Amino acid sequence: MTTHTQPPAGGATATSEERSSIVKVVFASLIGTAVEWYDFFLYGSAAALVFGALFFPDADPVNATLLAFGTYAVGFVARPLGGIVFGHFGDRVGRKKMLVASLMLMGGATIAIGLLPTYASIGVAAPILLLACRLLQGFAVGGEWGGAVLMAAEHGRDDQRGFWSSWPQAGVALGNLMATGVLWVLAAVQSEDAFNAWGWRIPFLLSAVLVFIGLWVRLSIEESPVFKEAHAEIAEKKDSDSHMPLLEVIRTYPREVFIAMGMRMAENISYYIFTIVVITFVTTYDGQEKGPILQALLIGSVVHFLWIPFIGAVSDRVGRKPLYLAGAVGVAAWTFPFFSLVSDGSAGSLTLAVVVGLMLHGLMYSPQAAFFSELFGTSVRYTGASVGYQLASIFAGALAPIIALKLLGSTDESNTTAVGLYVCAASVLTVVAVLFAKETRNTSLRHDRVVRGAHR
């Protein structure tokens, strides 16, 4: 890909007005993303804690959890479709409108989960409705990530893109922090019976408040200036009605899609091992209380949230590739001591295991937003980044909890080494993908093979 450079707007330093604008856009992306991922992660945590017993009561504990994780995985299957649909319209009519739509859809699905009757009330219809809500969640979050990241990336300066576009990534950590925090508080103040009977519904219903706040913030921001320029250029060079982003991504950016998918494998799989599978491992395999692991995840999410923008700023100085490679190798190596520390049972060991795991994950996740944005041209950037990101989720995050539990085996003698080898295999794929990628630090986002082709 040809490298283009662009001077920072306003000269060597950004004006106070420009800085105020980017801060507002980044804050809107952060808050909206946090709300959407609060909803998405809340489901994963609830699947590990209560959904098995409430919606699949006839199965034994491990199989019930596996069935709950099966409905959890369906959300990932819907994500590429959401990425394609929201990406298509985001590349044709704008990023902002799609961000508002995705947030409303996610909020509605999450509130509906909080109101669902359980298997004891309506039988098999309960897990079917749960599955439908999860599909809507996956569809919505499939369109959320690309739009939020691009709004931050396309408003910011080229030499600060890693920092500003990492904030929506930090919003994912903030969403997990909020979801884990609410569950931890409820676990601390409620009995097990009360939580299983009705307390689990509270975090889902709280989503209504968070969605309202997110919508209020997102409706106040301006459309991406880079998108508006590309949109006008496409209208001038070719028939706008013939602009089909998905087909144009397949035709002009196939290599970049596969690179993005490969780069996601270690990042996505390790994250769900460190945050979702660990809950089941601690409570079901080790027989520990859920309070300490939720507390460890709470602390880990705080560190993760602060770490991501720091690493984003570092990526603007040293590049995206070195940090990404370090993270891919790091999570592979850490998975083996991770389970030993978790099995120790002490609060300190649990916290150390989660915090280090999430910091290593952050070395990949933080520069990922800028990296993926820089791979694709403006007219198809929403679609290209979303498809590469979300397609990988089917093979990575969707299956990670299910594969990990199968590899762990019986509760009598868990096989944590097999899970470590699973993460190692994912890391090999990611390392290969990163090595095939070009360093994109400081490149301009004002590049587009699709528009160049139309011009010829």
Tell me the per-residue pLDDT of 338-390, one tens digit each, with 9 for 90 and over: 999 998 878 899 999 999 999 999 999 999 999 998 888 878 888 888 888 88
Contact 176, 203 (CB under 8 A): no
- CATH number, domain of 391, equals 1.20.1250.20
Give how many domains the chain has, as a whole number.
1
Tell me, yes or no, whether 237 lies in a domain: no
- Residue 235 in any domain: the answer is no
Q: Establish if 6 belongs to a structural domain.
A: no
pLDDT, position 4? 43
In this prediction the pTM is 0.80
Residue 9 lies in a domain: no
435 assigned to some structural domain: yes
- The verdict on residue 12 lying in a domain is no
pLDDT at 18: 60
**Mean pLDDT, rounded, of the chain:** 83
- Residue ranges of the chain whose pLDDT lies below 70: 1-20, 230-231, 233-243, 447-456
298, part of any domain: yes
Q: Please state, in angstroms and as integers, the Cα–Cα distance from residue 19 to each residue in 7, 22, 24, 33, 161, following that order.
A: 15, 5, 9, 21, 13
In contact, 67 and 59? CB cutoff 8 Å: yes
Distances (CA, A) of 316 to 267, 329, 402, 442: 20, 21, 36, 7
| Host domain of residue 110 | 18-222+242-455
Residue 435: both structure tokens together: 């090595």
In this structure, is residue 133 part of a structural domain?
Answer: yes
Distance CA 269, CA 279 (A): 15
